[in-house]
Structure 1
Amino acid sequence: MSEARDSLEIEMVENPAADLLRVLFDYKELMPADIASLREGRSDAVLVGRLEQQLRRLNTWLDSESVGRAISALTRISSIDLIDANEQGHIRLTYGTTLPYTDEKGRRQDRTVRYFDFDDVGANIFEFARQVAIKGPRQEIVPDIVIYVNGIPLAVIECKSPALADPIGEAQRQFRRYEGRDEFAGLGAPRLFEMAQISIALARDVARYGTTATPPRHWADWRDPWPMTADGLTSRINRTPTPQDILLAGMLAPANLIDLLRNYVIFETLDGRRLKKIARYQQFVAVGRTIERIRNAPRPERRSGVIHHTQGSGKSLTMVYLAIKLRRLPETENPTLVIVTDRTELDSQISGQFQRSGFPNPVQAESGQHLRELLSGGAGTTVLTTVHKFHTAVPKRTSVISEAENIFVMVDEAHRTQYGALAARMRAGLPHAALIAFTGTPIDKKDRSTREVFGDYIHRYLIDQAVKDGATVPIFYEMRDARMRVDGRDLEADIRRSFPELKDDEIQKLKQGARLQEKFAGAQTRVSAICEDILQHYRTAIEPNGFKAQIVTVSRDVAVSYVETLRALGAPECAVIMSASNNDSAKLQRHHLSRRERDKLISRFKRKDDPLKMLVVCDMLLTGFDAPVEQVMYLDAPLREHTLLQAIARVNRTYENKSHGLIVDYWGDNRRISEALDMFSEEDGVLSAMRPASEKYQLLESRHRAAILLFDNIDRSDEDACIALLALEDVRAKFELDFQRFAEAMDMVLPDPRALEEPYLTDLKWLTRIRAAARRLYSDERFDAKLYGAKVGELIAGHLRSDGVEQLLHPLDILDPAFRESVEEIGSPEAKAARIEHAIRHEIHVHREENPSAYKSLWEDLEDLISRRRIDRVSAASQLARLEELADRTMTLRADQKTFELTGTSGAILPLILFGEGLSDKQKHEIVASIALDLEDMAQVVDWQQKEDVKRQMRRTIKEGLRQTGADFSSIEASTAKIMDVARARLAK
């Protein structure tokens, strides 16, 4: 690492982190001499001297021999691997160590040694040390910061310069070396991580955390300093908090750190591997607020509430964490916990989560009578049940099961059945219980019943926030025009023509009784056409990257038709998962499965390398089904509202190299999509998370632009000169990241022909060639195409020697006169609007870096219009008129930049200045040119955008120039901010 990077890492990351710990939370910083005096040697991870002192304070009965045994229990763990050692360490830290004790009367008994005081956080000693050298078997490691509590290392922090292209990736690699795993097996000092619970990577503007052996894709942001507020944190540190500040304040506040250690770490076995998990911030905050409500409620019924955490964000684990906290809460006095679902498969899923997490003795109710017996048996039981068992458990409203107040009922997906008659029975049977509702979709604005039963929201974690945090992937949606699509209005007309003698009510009965929609949907010609399309799409867009598919049909009969047709067409291995009945037809009975067979198929589907690639369903596996390897759902059923939103969330789970989930809708009625989205407030983030497939192409445009930007001002035919631009490691690292993102975007769009448009394919091939040459010249690691998607690797290999690619669609410049002519040639308003929208987007993507403020406003207006049109709030004609206005604004924006023949920075900032009266064109020209020249001079300072003194001088210079315009104070302030945006975009080096 260069001296410059060392300096940035220390000044911008490590020092602020240390200052925050000292000033905000009164951590004591240990100097090297302190560390040397508190441990016996450089191979010790635990500060034995401090631990011995605290053991005697917290356990006054310990003698010297017992103190030595208690320390050895932590420092001499025998294990099969690091995860096993860490799990043993965590058990001892949270539950203590049992040692024999002889009292003053000579009686021997076992007593528990406490390593922490969990009830009085202030009784523990919180310290940190920088650059502590810890000797491993073959190497020495030097973490940037180690957090000690009572001498025990609970958190390890690695700081990285914000100037690095991928600082978090660099920190994660360093943690792998510290832990001695993967490519660093046998190296490092894993002993440190037998005790450490949290691994933190900091780079000021980005900060993430993991725990022992966390894969890179599961490292997470911490975006809430709870219980401190964002404003409170701002006032305490006297500046705008960075993501680094928020993470440290949220995770390392003494009470939070102790709480995380004790209540929010679990170990579970999945696919034969032992994994360690620690809570995400939304889980920690939701549970914390729930405990607050329970503690502070004036009456028992006021303890209830709703936790809305979007699908895929870990609701089941949140339930486990809440259950752990309730078990340890003194006020709840050994509570009874009841976990309620409305699906048998959900009951099994949540039961499995509790059991895998090591939660003690959860019991599944086998019947209503069994449920009543379990809840009547006294405190301390954890019961899992479906809501329907309350039918027989509470046969009438006077059949009270228990009037105890320390009963806590957690209800999953509470918007569905629980607030009806069954909820009334649950309330009647447990009149003083606290009801905590969990839902993955927002409560319908029109629905008041859920809140009447469960109370107000306790915490909300919305779809767009989950995508932003990386807790889920974005979902793209596209609709396909399946042949013989069922159109309700046409069907109605056909029935009336065929049966003119029937009255309206008879026609309705006929339609309902004959299930005509289902019959048309299941017509073999239609099923065959859709299956062929699914196979073509799956084989080219999904299967090459190793992902799997789910197909949702309108009925069990149609599901069987799908699976039989797919097999006849030579599809990858597929199976149908459905309920069974003794009265089923022979066709259905051929596909009946036992519970064990069904579970085996589902387990196989979840494994990436298993050949079972597709599951066909109609009403099963649409809720509570968690298969991260599933990327696409082919939807051929009229799902609506909550059911629709829950179903499509099956594809939003994160997985290695999975950039997005995809819904391909064959049903053909987009009104139900609009209805589902319109059920909720815009604040729920549904509109921004349910993205049209067209956004993939916008992403491709912007990422292409970022990848090629470095070579804008150079002759690209001179490849030696282009390669020379990559000589600096900083530049090469940023180029590598931009290339990967561009390649990933190509991977998302392929095999759609739009990926073959110019200049994407040509530039990808050219960038690949430049990148490979630079790697050979500068001795970087060899290119591994697997990182960027199998399809991209195949594309590059197949086209590297190609003479050219057919140009299927060329985006016209919005200023080109031919653009308006081409629009006028189009007949329908929808097609005209699409052409104008595409051109405006292209203009924004190409030129927005020249003037971020102006183009951002244009972008926001365009997105608002498209969103409103998508949910039918704007007619096609109104949309076209509004788009034409936006096109005129775009032309004006570009034309303004050409006034007075100003170019470059001058041309970009000209439209941002509000000139007073009386200035000539020449004077305006001189003011703008002077400001631009001064900014360009000051931007020669290396990394100026990271230096507050340079930015302060820039702002001062801009304001001095703007005072000559005669503008008022507020206009000058607004223009200054926008001009600084232009400087960051155009003058950053």
Structure 2
Amino acid sequence: MSYEWAKERPVEHRLIKQLEGLGYTYIPGHALDSERASHRDVVLEGRLRQAIQRLNPWIDDINLHKVVRMVTHINATSTMEANEKFYDMVVNYVSIQQDLGKGKKSQTVKLIDFDNPDNNEFLVVNQLKISGPMMTIIPDVVLFVNGLPLVVIECKSPTKPHPISEAVQQLLRYQQEAERLFHYNHVVVATCNEQAKFGSIGARLRHFGEWKDPYPFKVSDIGDNPTRQDVLVAGMFSKKNLLDMIQNFVVYEAEGGRTIKKVCRYQQFRAANKAVERILTGKTPKERGGVVWATQGSGKSLTMLYLSVKLRRLKELRNPSIVIVTDRTDLDEQITNTFRRCGFPNPQRAESVKDLRELLRTATGATIMTTIQKFQDHVDDGEDLLLNDADNIFVLVDESHRTNYGGLAMNMRASLPNAVYIGFTGTPIDKEDRSTVQTFGTYIDTYTIQQAVEDGATVPIYYESRLPELRVEGESLDAIFERVFQDYSKEEREQIKKKYATEEAIIGAPQRIRRICLDIIEHYEKHIAPNGFKAQIVAINRETAVLYKEILDELNGPESVVIISPNNNDDERLKKYHLTKEQQKHYIERFKKPLHEDKLAFIIVCDMLLTGFDAPIEQVMYLDKPLKEHNLLQAIARTNRTYDKKTYGLIVDYYGVSAFLKQALAIFNPTDVQGALTSIESEIPRLQARHRAAMRFFDHVDRNDIEACMKVLEPEDVRHAFDQAFKRFAESMDMIMPNPAAKPYHEDLKFLGKVRQYARNRFRDEQMDISDCGEKVKKLIYDHIYATDIKALHRPVSILEKNFDAHVKNLSTDQAKASEMEHAIRHEIRVKINENPVYYTSLKERLEQLIQARKEKRINDAQLAFELEKLIEEMRGQSKTIEEEGLTPQSYPIFQLLQKEWTDQEEEKERLKEITQIIVEHIEGLVVIDWVNKEDVKREMRKKIKRQLRTSKCPSDKIEPLAQQIVELAEIHYKK
């Protein structure tokens, strides 16, 4: 196969060659035109039909036609709905009525053979034209399986300023402009070779992830120095892995009133498949089990779900039963809801000990949810412990490090003696914890805290110690007491000491809590609220939690709610804060909403919501309770979920836990808890390094000379490097501000922000927008620009606007004027090239020639500015030129296309105008409302254009491509 385009598109070429090595057949997009009735067709119907016949040889022609139509005409109100319906057809098969000799019965039709990947056709296609309602898109690469377009890949040059961001934006635009292509999509990929990320339909950039492990391959299997793109392609698109992912690792989850498609991350795919491998190869129940450590916030519940889906499909397991075990009612409810939301068939939640026993006795192919306590409680009822001795029962135990050994494990194993036990934990196993390994077996897979942060699956957690004079950890009670009650007389202190005799009482002393509440309000309003995040306060007991609420309200603090476990013996003060389960759910849902939608900012707890509580909007936990070991790791992870513009979680420590962090986490191996908690003070050296990295661009430049700064940023690669450095510096500043440690960097941040805003306008680079910074940084920069140079905030001036000439004239140097005109022209070309490809491509070539002449010093800045001014005048005079040629803005691009592609002979000019006019009349005669969505209209249009070109003696090899290009121009200029 010829690759004459390879030098122009090296990223695309490398990807295609790798896929060919994985067994895909390469076909260039234009070679498929003969197989498609029009560019609007996204399914290769002929290939789909052949695959259905091959996989279902019994199917008759009528049903074959029916199935193909079901696939190509999905009735849905949205892309996501169509995508989910198609997924159901592929994974759960299509059902049709057909008589196979025993009367008409329902038969299932396979679209893909998941059992034998090589029994499917895998194509890699590049530069395939696909027409949408308004525009034609040309994705770089599309992967087809049996004629179904399952993967869309956008390749960018690694030298571009923001290659992955650009690719993601383009993929999102494709989803708007050619919606039908994404009815069939499994994943989309953005790549530039050095970086590569994947996402599902509708995903924004922050939801795209890397695929870092090519399991079951090793990185060394891929070749020498493989790039991230190589690893992703090997891991996601080897035939077996791609089909495995489609069949077992996709869920559609209802969330916030909409459906979100979730495709597994690499660690979930790896963990589930390693577990399956152990289950199938182990000889005893013990050897078939083990432990999966997936750090909190990295999708552990979904890993359990994916594994359950895989186990269900394995024929070797003979319709297995799956038992999901947790140790808390709220976790049991959470994971049950996860399975139900994701469409898992009929998970049954054991409501009581008796209910659990009955479900387990009769379990065949069941999915049962329970708490471990229901095993414990039935020990004393005098019944036989044995409930089911089947060997195809799989017990998946959540948070297995906590309670699932000793008596509880013994009860479970006595009830289900031949079951396979797989423990899932969000925290590492203790150094001294022999029980977990003895109970479940060795690690199946690990995904550490540090790995999750590096992958962007979670955000890093920092801690900050506040009010050291009120900290408790490591101090004697007498010293704390003297500090808290220092303003009282000796006699009063003696009376108080009798009342506050315990650690809990002193921690909960109103005097101390009032000081902390004042500090919390100040900290939250300055550090957290500006970016729209929310907070959790953890008190030592329920009485202190209520006291926090009362004092916060008294001080007019942000809106808060106390969520504590009710007790029948509570006094009237505590009873005021008793909430029903429904009320608790209501407040939790309010808390999860954006701050601008719901002002509920604080949830105050003592024990509840420290595990299994997932609210990504929570950035800070105000901790005033002694926590250590697993409890500490569980609690702080409430702040590690990802959320828009959230770059870190924060623990503000009033108790003193962080001062003794080493002891608090001593039971773990240091490497296992690396990155669990980092002092915010450790950000200061990183802030200094990031500040230096951003400022170095202007080391030898007069910072008061904005044009000198623009000259530094003129090269695209330099501008990209600066933008990355600025974002990192701004991120650190947003974390530290308004801490006085950030003060020395304020002026440089203002300067860099202003330069970046100027660069955005000069180079028309929409990525360089300070709106993507944190609110504290943004306010500092905006206030500075408003005070010093408000025009920097104005949008770029277009060359077609009346004030453009005055704007250029006000610039101080010829170099600045030439730069402003160059990038204004580039922007105009980028925006309008689809309207008239011939003219604007020619304009781009002339522009590049002028820029090259300046680089080679054949012309100076003044001459360049003069030549660019002439180009602008020509662009402005386009309408006059069109009028002089006797054409219209709609017909002129068609005329120029014919002139370039057919003949540019001057004597032919008038004849081409006549042909153009005839073609335009054909187009206008067919233009009706919404015609761009009507394939029959476009087919007729192409037919008439081709007939006219043939009649006009157009060379035969030019007719087909010209007709298609003319219709594409018509779609832009003749919308109705």
* TM-score range normalised by the length of the shorter chain: 0.7 to 0.9
Q: How does 1:462-501 map to 2 (within 5 A)?
A: 462-486=448-472, 490-491=476-477
SS at match of 1:311: coil
- Supply the AA of the counterpart residue of 1:532: L
Give the aligned partner of residue 563 of structure 2: 577
Q: Does 1:178 align with 2:168?
A: no
Q: Which amino acid aligns with 2:211?
A: W
440 and 669 in structure 1: CA distance in 2 versus 1, 3 angstrom threshold: closer
Q: Which amino acid aligns with 1:575?
A: V
Q: Which residue does the alignment assign to 2:50?
A: 53
Q: Equivalent residues in 2 for 1:796-807 (5 A)?
A: 796-800=781-785
Q: Given residue 436 of structure 2, which amino acid in structure 1 is its aligned partner?
A: T
Which of 674, 677, 683 lines up with 1:690 in the alignment? 677
Q: Which amino acid letter does the alignment assign opposite residue 520 of structure 2?
A: I
Distance 1:711 1:8 in 2: 35
- 1:950 maps to none
Looking at structure 1, the residues matched to 784 and 36 of structure 2 have their Cα atoms a distance apart, in angstroms, of 61
Name the residue aligned to 1:15. Answer: 13
Aligned with residue 447 of structure 1, among 429, 433, 436: 433
Q: 2:304 is matched with which residue: 306, 315, 319?
A: 319
Q: For residues 213-258 of structure 1, what are the alpha-carbon distances to aligned partners after superposition, in whole Å with 9 as ceiling and x for unaligned?
A: 112111111010101122222xxx3x12111111100000100000
Alignment check: 8 A CA contact 1:9 1:160 kept: no
Distance 2:473 2:44 in 1: 73
Amino acid at match of 1:770: V
Cα shift at 1:167: 1.1
The answer to whether the Cα contact below 8 Å between 1:126 and 1:147 also exists between their aligned partners in 2 is: yes
Shift of 1:730: 3.6
- The equivalent position to 2:517 in structure 1, one of 511, 531, 539, is 531
Aligned-pair CA distance for 1:702 = 2.4
CA–CA separation in structure 2 for the residues paired with 1:538 and 1:321: 39
Query: In 2, distance between residues paired with 1:166 and 1:777?
Result: 17
CA distance in 1, matches of 2:191, 2:517: 48
1:390 corresponds, among 375, 385, 389, to 375
Structure-2 residue corresponding to 1:226: 215
Q: Could you tell me how far 1:391 is from its partner in structure 2?
A: 2.0
**Structure-2 residue corresponding to 1:245:** 230
Aligned 8 A contact 1:398 1:428 in 2: no
Q: Are the aligned partners of 2:194 and 2:228 in contact in 1 as well (CA < 8 Å)? A: yes
Please say which of residues 355-364 and 714-723 is displaced more in the overlay. 714-723
> Which residue number in structure 1 is paired with residue 181 of structure 2?
192
Q: 2:204 aligns with which of 203, 215, 224?
A: 215
The 5 Å alignment of 1:583-598 reads 583-598=569-584
Deviations 1:387-414 (A, max 9, x none): 1011234446951011011111111101
Distance 2:55 2:81 in 1: 27
Distance 1:777 1:165 in 2: 15
Question: Aligned with 2:476: secondary structure?
Answer: helix
Question: Which residue in 2 is equivalent to 1:624?
Answer: 612
Among residues 677, 690, 693, which one is paired with 2:665 in the alignment?
Answer: 677
Cα pair 2:627 2:664 within 8 Å, conserved: no
Distance in 2 (alpha carbons) for counterparts of 1:784 and 1:753: 26
Give the CA deviation at 1:631.
0.2
Shift of 1:196: 1.1
2:527 is the counterpart of 1:541: yes
The residue aligned with 1:764 is: 749
Which of 727, 731, 734 aligns to 1:747? It is: 734
1:666 pairs with 654, 665, 673, which one? 654
Aligned residue among 194, 204, 215 for 2:193: 204
Tell me the SS of whatever aligns to 2:738.
coil
The corresponding residue for 1:167 is 163
Q: State the distance in 2 between where 1:702 and 1:248 align.
A: 35
- Opposite residue 46 of structure 1, the aligned amino acid is V
Question: Match for 2:59: what amino acid?
Answer: L
* Residues 438, 27 of structure 1: alpha-carbon distance in 2 compared, 3 angstrom cutoff: same
* 8 Å contact kept, 1:419–1:449: yes
- Match of residue 373 from structure 1: 358
Whole-angstrom distance in 1 between the partners of 2:498 and 2:108: 68
Match of 2:75 among 43, 64, 78: 78
Point out the structure with max Rg over C-alpha.
2
Question: What SS does the aligned partner of 2:671 have?
Answer: helix
CA contact (8 A) 1:143 1:157 kept: yes
1:113 aligned residue: 109
Which of 328, 334, 342 lines up with 1:357 in the alignment?
Answer: 342
Higher mean alpha-carbon deviation, 484-493 vs 143-152, is at 484-493
C-alpha distance in 1 between matches for 2:30 and 2:768? 46
User: Structure 1 residue 122: deviation in Å?
Assistant: 1.4
Report the counterpart of residue 821 of structure 2 in structure 1: none
> Does 2:120 correspond to 1:124?
yes
Pick from 456, 464, 475 the counterpart of residue 442 of structure 2: 456
Given the superposition, is the C-alpha separation of residues 647 and 782 from structure 1 closer, same or farther in structure 2, using an over 3 Å criterion? closer
CA contact (8 A) 1:642 1:676 kept: no
Aligned pairs, number: 769
Per-residue CA deviations over 1:269-323 (Å, capped at 9, x if unaligned) read: 1111111100000000000000000100112231110000001000011111111
Show structure 1 runs of 5+ residues with no match.
Answer: 1-5, 181-187, 497-510, 804-939, 942-989
Structure 1 pair 682–482 and aligned structure 2 pair: CA distance change class (3 A): closer
Deviations 1:104-136 (A, max 9, x none): 46x211111100111111111111111111111
Following superposition, the deviation at residue 726 of structure 1 comes to 2.5
**What residue is the counterpart of 1:957 in the other structure?**
none
What is the distance in 2 between the residues matched to 1:133 and 1:738?
A: 38
Aligned to 2:411: 425
Name whichever of 742-751 and 480-489 sits farther off: 480-489
| Secondary structure at 1:632 match in 2 | strand
- Alignment equivalent of 1:407, drawn from 382, 393, 399: 393
Are the equivalent residues in 1 in contact too, given 2:753–2:770 (CA < 8 A)?
no
- CA drift of 1:690 comes to 2.0
Whole-Å separation in 2 of the counterparts to 1:661 and 1:425: 39
Contact conserved, 2:6 with 2:13, CA < 8 A, in 1? Answer: no
Say yes or no: does 1:559 pair with 2:559.
no
1:44 and 2:41 are equivalent in the alignment? yes
Query: In structure 2, the residue corresponding to 1:662 is in which secondary structure?
Result: strand
Which of 284, 287, 293 does residue 302 from structure 1 map onto? 287
Structure 2: where are the runs of 5+ without partners? 483-496, 789-854, 857-976
Cα 1:546–1:84 change in 2 (3 A) is same
> 1:196 and 1:800 mapped to 2: Cα distance?
45
Question: For residue 26 of structure 1, what is the aligned residue in structure 2?
Answer: 23
1:520 corresponds to which letter in structure 2?
I
**Contact map agreement 2:538 2:621 (CA 8 A) in 1:** yes
Tell me the alpha carbon deviations over residues 525-567 of structure 1, each in whole angstroms, 9 at most, x when there is no partner: 1000000000000000000100000011100000000011111
Q: Distance in 2 between matches of 1:525 and 1:539?
A: 22
Match of 1:643 in 2: 631
* Counterpart-to-counterpart distance in 2, 1:607 and 1:299: 48
- Give the whole-Å Cα distance in 2 for the aligned partners of 1:9 and 1:104: 58
Whether the aligned pair in 1 keeps the contact of 2:754 and 2:781 (CA below 8 Å) is no
**Distance in 2 of aligned mates of 1:515 and 1:784:** 57
1:66 partner letter: N
TM-score by length of 1: 0.75
> 2:137–2:178: 8 Å Cα contact kept in structure 1?
yes
State how far apart, in whole Å, the 2-side matches of 1:655 and 1:797 are. Answer: 24
Aligned mates of 1:350, 1:487 — CA distance in 2: 35
Classify the secondary structure of the residue corresponding to 1:384: strand
1:125-164 equivalent positions in 2, closer than 5 A: 125-164=121-160
CA contact (8 A) 1:556 1:617 kept: yes
Change (3 A) 1:777 1:162: closer
Say which SS state the counterpart of residue 168 (structure 2) adopts.
Answer: helix
Contact 2:97 2:106 in 1 (8 A): yes
CA distance in 1, matches of 2:669, 2:700: 46
Q: 1:101 to 1:769 in 2, by over 3 A?
A: same
| Separation in 2, partners of 1:658, 1:208 | 20
Amino acid at match of 2:169: R
Residue in structure 2 matched with residue 945 of structure 1 by the alignment: none
Cα separation, partners in 2 of 1:84 and 1:630, compared to 1, 3 Å: same
Q: Quote how far apart the aligned CAs of 1:692 are.
A: 1.2
Which of the numbers 691, 705, 708 marks the counterpart of 2:692? Answer: 705
CA shift for structure 1 position 43: 1.0
Give the deviation of 1:488 after TM superposition. 5.6
Match of 1:682, SS state, is coil
Supply the distance in 1 between the matched residues of 2:583 and 2:728 (Cα, whole angstroms): 41
Once residues 634 and 429 of structure 2 are traced to their aligned partners in structure 1, the CA distance between those partners, rounded to angstroms, is 13
